[in-house]
Each structure stands twice: as structure tokens, then as C-alpha cells.
Chain A
Amino acid sequence: MISVKNLKKSFGGVEVLRGINYEIEKGDVLCIIGPSGSGKSTFLRCLNLLEKPDSGSVCLDGVELTDRKVNINAQRMKMGMVFQQFNLFPHMTVMENLCCAPMMLKKVSREDAEAKAMSLLERVGLADRANAYPGQLSGGQKQRIAIVRALCMEPEVMLFDEPTSALDPEMVGEVLDVMKELAHEGMTMIVVTHEMGFAREVGKRVVFMDEGIIMEENSPEELFNNPQCERLKSFLSKVL
């Protein structure tokens, strides 16, 4: 589904990604772990071209995203993204946050967009906050709304950039629950995370990144129970 070939990216002379190759299949739940500064977030942001790769290619369903002729906006509609800082639109109500993109970009009628948004809100238990403004919500609620906002575009794959890192500890669970449910429904997900428990339990594949490359890749059981490279062993000894 997503095919990444020899992806490279530098910021001001510092090579953050030094050649990433990876294939993501439909239905995969890929968790990316690694120390900060290892390039995990940059890798994720290169997948929908929020960061422009210096070289290499990212293909989504056979469409080369780095090709200048490709309409990146149309491709991004297929890739939902959830940010660490939520990035809800503070000047819109929850409902407006959810409906603005489908109505603007997919020409969905207001009734249809709101009906869809409402059913998703009910599933994450926030139907009663439809008319609230983001400023009136807790962090956990904001992030659940952000997930729903991405889902309202009916994406084929969801990208999560450390979705629980900015949350108070007691709110992490409610967000992870929503993500778990999404994974069980078969959504293709790529999750940059520090939640090892989540990676182990929900991830189908886990990637360990360090120094801008994929150091190790495996099923969660193997990767956590039987790490091969030294960097991963020392990383796991610190975080587990």
C-alpha cells in the first residue's frame, strides 16, 4: 500500500533520515519506536509530504507522491494524520472541525457530513461535546476529536505522530482505546509512539529507528523479547 524507497531528508546540513526502505501493507499496524531525534516523526511527516524528502520515493497505491505532477492534496485525503499537539481549529466548534474538510473537499452535504461526524462522535463517547469549542475540552477529548476529524475524510491509512505524548497520564488510556478499536477494525495505521505497551499489544509490526535509519524491524513479540542489535537492547532497557 505504501512503499518507501531510500528516503532521505536533512535539516540545515543535519541528515535526519539517511535512507529508509519500507513496505506497508493494507491492514498493517506499524509502530515506530526509537529515541528522540532518531527521525521517527520526520519519517512519518515525509509519508504525507508535510516534510519534503530530499531524495527517495514514497508511493501510495502505486502513486509516486514526490512526483511534481501528482496532486498531493488529493493524495493526502487518503491519509489521515493525528498530531502530538492535536491541532484542532480553535475558532470552530467540534462539529465544524469535523465537517469542514469533507464539505469543502469532498463536496459532502452538510446533513451527510454531520450525520457521519455524529456517529463517529458517539463511538468515541463525545457526542455531547459536538457544539463545544476545542478550548473547552480536555487533552484526551481533544485528541479523540482529532482522530475523528481525520476519520471523517474516510482515509485508507492513518498516521499518528506521538498522539499521547502531550497528554496527562490519566488521559492516555482513553486515546489508546480509540486507536485500539480502530486497529481491530482493520484500519491501516502507522504510529510513532513512546507507548511500548501499545506497540506490543496492538502493533502488528514494530520498527526501531535510530540515527536516521531503521535499525531493526520485527513482530512485537520478537522485537521486544528478543532484540538483536545493541542500540535496541540499550533503548529497551531504558524504557521498559
Chain B
Amino acid sequence: MTAWFEKLNETFIETGYYELIIEGLKNTIIITLGALMIGVVIGMLIAVVKYFADDAPALKPLAWLCDVYVTVIRGIPVVVLLLIFYFIVMASADGITVAILTFGINSGAYMAELMRSGINAVDKGQMEAGRSLGMSKLQATRKIILPQALRYILPAIGNELIALLKETAVAGYVAVVDLTRAGNLVRNNTYDAVNPLMCVAIIYLALVVLLSQLLKVVEGRLNKK
């Protein structure tokens, strides 16, 4: 036991590498939250466009474009996207910006689908009731459909957040020191593989457990209504 503590001290404290791990954790969280926000906005835009395109022919080309976006993004591994953005599309930007944008754009495609299915899960009679009272489709959507769709969408966004957090572990490919890369750097520099990697794994696990619990609380609140 004491030997192990000594080893930990050697690997993280004496060398000052614990700062690297904290730095990595910070970057992982920044990338995840930034990407989440971009993903939610893109997802919402696509879901709304596709929803209203059903009876607004003028939106059809835009809806088609959204379909192309979703298909392309979902068909390419996120690491490949990341490399394309870093080395081709935004060649002069720094890694974190590229990572936030790439993961956001990637996540947007998935968000769009889960928001659409959330909206579709609301009973059709709700829209009819709103329209029969004289509301426009937009008014009924805002006042009646979306508040109910949120009950299905929020938990799904929570799951997407958890997936996103783990997905960002490949950010190291574009010279970002995220949590995974930090752990790997420590391993490389200290010749201690066990402790840095275990440490990283435990931090991810703790974050995921924390998020899942948070999600349960939110879901419980939503179901109470």
C-alpha cells in the first residue's frame, strides 16, 4: 500500500504532472459543453426546418440539404471529421476550437434526429386541438407541441451528452491536450502505464456516473408534471 502511494506521488505530484491531468480534464469539459451547445442549436434548426417543410413547399430544398448533412455526418467517423477540419477546412485554427466545432457539428446530426423523434412522439391530436382553436402551426408548436416534446428530448440529450463526453477522447489526434491525451503523456514521460491510465479511466467513469444521476433527477422532475 505504501509502495503504491509512493508510486502515485512519484508519477503525479513530484513531477507536477497532476497539473497536466487537470488541464486535460478542463479541456475535455470545455470541448464537451461547447460541442453540446453547438449540437443542440444545429439539431434544433434541422428538426424545425424538417418539421415545417412537411406543409411548406418553400422549405423543401432546405430540408433536403438537412438530410444531406445528417447522412454525410453520420456516415463519417468523428476522428476522420476531426482530421479533415484540422488539416483542411480550418488549417490555421487551434485544436480546441476545431474540436468544439467538429464535435458540435457531428453531434448536431444526432441531435436533429432525436429532437425530431421527440416532436413526433407527441400525440397528433394535440396539434389538431391547437389548430382547431385557431392557432397557427407555429403557435401550436411553440405553446403545445414543444413543451411536451421536451419530456422526450431532454433525457435523450442527456444520453447524447454522455456519449459526447467519451467521444472527445479522440481530440488528441489534433494536438489538443484533453484528459485522454494528458494521461497518455504522463504514461509516456514517467514509464508508469498503470496509474495515469487508471486515473483517466476513473475520472471519465466518475463524470459519467455523475451525469447519469443528474439525468435521473431531471427525468424525475419531468415525469412528476
Binding site for B on A (CB under 8 A): 48, 50, 73-74, 76-77, 79-81, 83, 85, 87-91, 100-101, 104-105, 133, 149-150, 153, 159
- The answer to whether B144 has its CB under 8 Å from any CB of chain A is yes
Binding site for A on B (CB under 8 A): 123, 125-126, 128-136, 139, 143-144, 147-148, 225
User: Do B125 and A85 touch across chains, with their CB atoms under 8 A apart?
Assistant: yes
**Which residue of B128, B132, B135, B143 has the most chain A CB atoms within 10 A of its CB atom?**
B132
Given contacts A87-B125, A89-B126, A91-B225, contact A100 B143 (CB under 8 A): yes
User: Do B148 and A90 touch across chains, with their CB atoms under 8 A apart?
Assistant: yes
- Chain B residues closer than 8 Å to A83, beta-carbon distance: 125, 128-129, 132
B132–chain A nearest beta-carbon distance, Å: 4
A191–chain B nearest beta-carbon distance, Å: 15
User: Do B133 and A101 touch across chains, with their CB atoms under 8 A apart?
Assistant: yes
User: Do A91 and B132 touch across chains, with their CB atoms under 8 A apart?
Assistant: no
User: Do B148 and A149 touch across chains, with their CB atoms under 8 A apart?
Assistant: no
User: Do B129 and A87 touch across chains, with their CB atoms under 8 A apart?
Assistant: yes
User: Do B136 and A87 touch across chains, with their CB atoms under 8 A apart?
Assistant: no
Taking a contact as CB atoms closer than 8 A, the residue among A73, A77, A89, A159 that contacts B129 in the complex is A89
Given contacts A87-B125, A91-B225, contact A48 B132 (CB under 8 A): yes
B219–chain A nearest beta-carbon distance, Å: 15
4 shortest interchain CB distances as A-B pairs = A77-B134, A87-B129, A81-B132, A87-B125
- Chain A residues closer than 8 Å to B139, beta-carbon distance: 104-105
- Chain B residues closer than 8 Å to A81, beta-carbon distance: 129, 132
Complex CA–CA separation, A149 to B144 (angstroms):
14
Complex CA–CA separation, A101 to B131 (angstroms):
10
**Which residue of A48, A73, A88 has the most chain B CB atoms within 10 A of its CB atom?**
A73
Taking a contact as CB atoms closer than 8 A, the residue among B123, B128, B134, B148 that contacts A74 in the complex is B134
- Chain B residues closer than 8 Å to A73, beta-carbon distance: 131, 134-136
- Chain B residues closer than 8 Å to A50, beta-carbon distance: 128, 131-132
User: Do A76 and B134 touch across chains, with their CB atoms under 8 A apart?
Assistant: yes
Given contacts A83-B125, A104-B139, contact A91 B133 (CB under 8 A): no
A101, closest chain B residue (CB): B133
Complex CA–CA separation, A88 to B143 (angstroms):
13
Complex CA–CA separation, A149 to B139 (angstroms):
17
Given contacts A85-B125, A89-B126, contact A76 B144 (CB under 8 A): no
B134, closest chain A residue (CB): A77
Given contacts A100-B143, A104-B139, contact A87 B126 (CB under 8 A): yes
- Chain A residues closer than 8 Å to B225, beta-carbon distance: 91, 133
- Chain B residues closer than 8 Å to A88, beta-carbon distance: 129
A96, closest chain B residue (CB): B143
- Chain B residues closer than 8 Å to A90, beta-carbon distance: 148
B225, closest chain A residue (CB): A91
User: Do B147 and A91 touch across chains, with their CB atoms under 8 A apart?
Assistant: yes
**Which residue of A79, A87, A88 has the most chain B CB atoms within 10 A of its CB atom?**
A87
User: Do B126 and A104 touch across chains, with their CB atoms under 8 A apart?
Assistant: no
A159, closest chain B residue (CB): B132
Complex CA–CA separation, A90 to B145 (angstroms):
11
A87–chain B nearest beta-carbon distance, Å: 4
Complex CA–CA separation, A80 to B128 (angstroms):
12
- Chain B residues closer than 8 Å to A133, beta-carbon distance: 225
B129, closest chain A residue (CB): A87
Complex CA–CA separation, A79 to B130 (angstroms):
12
User: Do A79 and B132 touch across chains, with their CB atoms under 8 A apart?
Assistant: yes
Complex CA–CA separation, A85 to B132 (angstroms):
14
Given contacts A89-B144, A91-B148, contact A76 B129 (CB under 8 A): no
A226–chain B nearest beta-carbon distance, Å: 36
